[in-house]
Amino acid sequence: YYLLRPEVVESLFYLWRFTKKPLYREWGWRIFQNIDRHCRVAGGGFGGINDVLQVPPVKSDKMHSFWLSETLKYFYLLFSEDSALDLDQYVLSTEGHPFPLLPVRHPTTATRP
């Protein structure tokens, strides 16, 4: 089955950002095209596939919110300029939310009498 989960696209995004190897964008584009081809629902939206080995695939009657909030976000970031999200300034949570990095504050060492 395939539920439109973000983890593979998230991995491709980070691999692209850290290596700049075009292969990761190529894989991402192929994945996006196949999701569009096999998961798009005629009435609108996208549905997961219950059995990826079944031809033609049977789509689930559900579009999870992570498809819009995470998977598509990572596709966007994969194909965007690095300035769209500066990884030196932000970190992404496990749910794909960007949080600004705060300056590291080192605790002061108190001297004991």
Q: What is the largest CA-CA distance in the chain?
A: 78
Q: What is the pLDDT of residue 112?
A: 59
The tens digit of pLDDT for each residue in 16-72 reads 999 999 999 999 999 999 999 999 998 899 999 999 999 888 999 899 999 999 999
Confidence class for position 110, pLDDT limits 50, 70, 90 = low
Q: Give the separation between CA 61 and CA 74, rounded to whole angstroms.
A: 23
State pTM to two decimals: 0.86
Q: What is the pLDDT of residue 107?
A: 74
Q: What is the pLDDT of residue 9?
A: 97
Give the C-alpha distances (Å, rounded to integers) separating 95 from 3, 4, 55, 59.
16, 14, 32, 24
Per-residue pLDDT at 108 exceeds 80: no
Q: Give the separation between CA 85 and CA 95, rounded to whole angstroms.
A: 15
